[in-house]
Chains A and B, each alone.
Chain A
Amino acid sequence: GESVGLHLPTLSVQEGDNSIINCAYSNSASDYFIWYKQESGKGPQFIIDIRSNMDKRQGQRVTVLLNKTVKHLSLQIAATQPGDSAVYFCAEHLQAGTALIFGKGTTLSVSS
C-alpha cells in the first residue's frame, strides 16, 4: 500500500491497494476528530470519528489512528476502490459547542 508523509495534497493508488492519508492537527486540547470525504460537487460526508481518549477506531474498510504525542491523525482505507476517489479532510473539535476546524485536504485518486 501507499503511505503518505505529513500531508501531501494528492495520493494516487491502484485499485485494491491500501491507502494511508495523514493529517497533522493544531491544538493539543482538541477532544474529537473526524475524517470527511468530499466528492466532486458535493458537501463533505462523515467517514469515521475518534475521541481523544482512544488511539484507534475501525469502521468498514477504514481505520483511524490518533497519535496525541505528535498531534497526528491518519486514515487507512483497505482495498481501495475507484469509488473512494475523492478529497479527504481531517477535522478537529476543540470543545463542546465549538466548530470543527478543517485541515487541508488530500485528493485520493484510484486507478483500475
Chain B
Amino acid sequence: DAGVIQSPRHEVTEMGQEVTLRCKPISGHNSLFWYRQTMMRGLELLIYFNNNVPIDDSGMPEDRFSAKMPNASFSTLKIQPSEPRDSAVYFCASGQGNGELFFGEGSRLTVL
C-alpha cells in the first residue's frame, strides 16, 4: 500500500530559480497538507486542501509561494523566485478529514 509520495527528495538550486515540489496523496484521502520544517520554526502549516479546494493558505510565507491541486491525486508547491531562507524540508501529508495525517518522506530544499 503506497503512502504519500513526494518528489524530488532532495533539491539544490541557486537563488532566483524556480522550484517545484510534487506530491501524490494516498488514494481515497480527501485532504492534502503542505508543511515546512526548519530547526528554528519546527513544523509549520503552509496550506491545505479539502477535496482539491484550497481552504487555508494563511501559512504561505509570501507571494513567491503558490500551491495547486489540479486533481485528487496530485499537488504541487512552487517557489518563484527561490531565496536562501526558503531552505527547509517540505512535507506533504494527506488525510481523510478525521484529523490523522499521513506524511511523505519530505523534500529537502537547499537554496544557495
Q: How large is the interface on A (under 10, 10 to 19, 20 to 34, 35 or more residues)?
A: 20 to 34
Given A97-B50, A97-B97, A99-B45, are A45 and B103 also a contact pair (CB < 8 Å)? yes
Question: Which residues 17-60 of A have a CB within 8 angstroms of B?
Answer: 31-32, 34, 36, 41-46, 49
Query: A97 touches which one: B55, B101, B103, B105 (CB < 8 A)?
Result: B55
Q: Does B100 contact A46, Cβ atoms closer than 8 Å?
A: yes
Given A43-B91, A99-B45, A99-B56, are A49 and B33 also a contact pair (CB < 8 Å)? no
A88 within 8 A of B: no
B42 within 8 A of A: yes
- Interface SS of chain B: strand
Contacts of B98 in A (CB 8 A): 32, 96
Q: Does B103 contact A34, Cβ atoms closer than 8 Å?
A: no
Q: Mark interface residues in A86-102 (1 if CB within 8 Å of B CB, else 0).
A: 00010101001111111
Total interface residues in chain B, CB < 8 Å = 23
Contacts of A31 in B (CB 8 A): 99
Given A89-B43, A97-B50, A102-B43, are A43 and B99 also a contact pair (CB < 8 Å)? no
Contacts of B97 in A (CB 8 A): 96-97
Apart from A99-B45, A100-B45, 18 more pairs, CB < 8 Å: A32-B99, A41-B105, A43-B103, A43-B105, A43-B106, A44-B43, A49-B99, A89-B42, A89-B43, A96-B98, A97-B31, A98-B56, A99-B48, A100-B99, A100-B101, A103-B42, A105-B42, A105-B43
Chain B interface residues (CB < 8 Å from chain A): 4, 31, 33, 35, 42-43, 45, 48, 50, 55-56, 91, 93, 97-106
Of the A-B pairs whose beta carbons lie under 8 Å apart in the complex, a sample of 23, sorted by A's number, is A32-B98, A32-B99, A43-B93, A43-B104, A44-B43, A45-B103, A46-B100, A49-B99, A96-B97, A96-B98, A97-B31, A97-B55, A97-B97, A98-B56, A99-B33, A100-B33, A100-B45, A100-B99, A100-B101, A101-B45, A102-B35, A102-B42, A104-B42
Chain A interface residues (CB < 8 Å from chain B): 31-32, 34, 36, 41-46, 49, 89, 91, 93, 96-105
